[in-house]
Amino acid sequence: MNLKSKKIETIAIHAGLGHESGSRAVVPPLELSTNYVHDERGYQEGDFIYTRDKNPNRLQLENLLASLEMGEACAAFSSGVAALSVVFQALDEGSHILLPNDLYHGTRNLLKKYVQRWGISYSFTNMTDMDVVKEDVRKNTRMIFVETPSNPMLHITDVEKMCNFAKSIKALVCVDNTWPTPMNLNPIYYGADLVMHSTTKYLAGHSDILGGAIIAAKKDEFFERISEIQKGQGAVPSPRDCWLLSRSIRSFPYRMRGHNENAMKVAEYLAEHPKVREVYYPGLPDHPGHDIARSQMSGFGGMISFLYDGDAKETLSVVAKTKLITRATSLGGVESTWEHRRSSESEDSTTPENLIRLSVGLEHIDDLIKDLSQALGKK
Ligand SMILES: *Cc1c(COP(=O)(O)O)cnc(C)c1O
């Protein structure tokens, strides 16, 4: 079926439903076999031979993710950070990566601990200002890595402007699309070369699968490198995880709508609360990135950060008061979670000590507001 002209709700359901197994099952079966019987020609590159190289459930998932992101190819991984390591490792030795100042702390840790050993350098810049970005690129900048909204401060980067600029200096753009998801942002549409995901979050959506992916706009030589490292270093997801993730993705657009809708209402509630000093949510009209977010995104996502009117200890005690909202890290589940973000990050974290990061789930909005109200105090 040609899904190119179809909408995301349709793609999410049908791009993962191949009927090539011959069993006539409506839903693709889970195939756990690690190896496949050779035919009389012996080992044939490209066939199903051994599960690390290729297996039906991973292939289905990769086709589904590529379609969702409007890319030509996808490589699935066992986690988001595995996907990140591969996308960095695929660069030539001597390359430089430019990243945003505000960034998922796991990406920062990965850079700090491993990337230099691969002969790759990196630096950070303010991606909300293209003039600053232009000053901060280096002669050997080969990749610009974007996170928008960023984690945990929700800074917004203009993806189209960034991609146009990157093309002029022959650098690749890789967007971590974990937070906005393809429901709210399509980086490839704006010119990104690569999209990276922690599928652990919204795509899985139920806090029970760890996974990652890289989607490439073009099935080119750089993607071949990614694909080779995927198979050769073996940080691949199991068929069971691929099957379950594909299952979850079928309802993901509708979940994402609910996250967008609830988060907008929660952000509006928090913005008016006297115990809240500041709310970071790009859907609020006074957010500095609101206009860009509105033009490039179709929804503002389910993540909100805000500053509580108190010190670290008082902030931690508020986080402990909710009954419905679970005190936990990570994000993107159907259940709402929140955390004192600084405690989850490494010692050199610059996240404000009174920042609470909230992943707004799919509970009824009235119940969420009630829970927030008893934790923060009535207005
Ligand atoms: C969670 C997360 C990652 C890392 O993914 P894992 O699946 O935990 O390895 C990367 N980027 C962002 C924005 C994330 O939220």
Q: Which two tokens stand for residue 266?
A: 């929660």
Report the pLDDT value the prediction gives residue 39, as an integer from 0 to 100.
86
Report the pLDDT value the prediction gives residue 308, as an integer from 0 to 100.
97
Kindly report, residue by residue over 303-322, the tens digit of the pLDDT.
999 999 999 999 999 999 99
Q: Which atom of ligand 1 is nearest to the CA of 178?
A: 13
Domain boundaries 253-376, CATH class:
alpha beta
* Confidence at 1, pLDDT banded by 50, 70, 90: low
Residue nearest atom 5 of ligand 1, based on CA coordinates = 80
Domains 8-249 and 253-376 share a fold: no
Q: Which atom of ligand 1 is nearest to the CA of 199?
A: 7
At residue 19, does pLDDT exceed 70?
Answer: no
Residue nearest atom 6 of ligand 1, based on CA coordinates = 80
Indicate the average pLDDT of the chain. Answer: 95
> 344: number of CA atoms within 13 Å, CB side?
19
Cα 173 to ligand 1 centroid, rounded to whole Å = 18
Residue 70 to residues 188, 238, 376, Cα–Cα distance (Å): 7, 24, 42
Cα 81 to ligand 1 centroid, rounded to whole Å = 6
Q: Which atom of ligand 1 is nearest to the CA of 212?
A: 7
The binding-site residues of ligand 1, defined as CB within 6 angstroms of any ligand atom, are 79-81, 104, 106, 151, 176, 178-179, 198, 200-201, 210, 212
Kindly report, residue by residue over 34-92, the tens digit of the pLDDT.
999 988 888 777 789 999 999 999 999 999 999 999 999 999 999 999 999 999 999 99
Cα 198 to ligand 1 centroid, rounded to whole Å = 5
User: Collapsing DSSP states into helix, strand and coil, what is residue 98?
Assistant: strand
Cα 331 to ligand 1 centroid, rounded to whole Å = 9
DSSP 112-156: HHHGGGGT-EEEEE-TT-HHHHHHH--TTEEEEEEESS-TTT---
At residue 33, does pLDDT exceed 70?
Answer: yes
Cα 204 to ligand 1 centroid, rounded to whole Å = 12
Q: Indicate the top mutation candidate among 107, 174, 201 to test ligand 1's pocket, ranked by most ligand atoms within 8 A of CB.
A: 201
Domain ranges for the chain: 8-249, 253-376
Single-letter residue type at 257: R
Cα 191 to ligand 1 centroid, rounded to whole Å = 23
C-beta separation of 83 from 131 below 8 A: no
Best CATH choice for the domain 8-249 from the list 3.40.50.300, 3.40.30.10, 3.40.640.10, 2.20.28.10: 3.40.640.10
Cα 104 to ligand 1 centroid, rounded to whole Å = 7
Q: Which atom of ligand 1 is nearest to the CA of 179?
A: 13
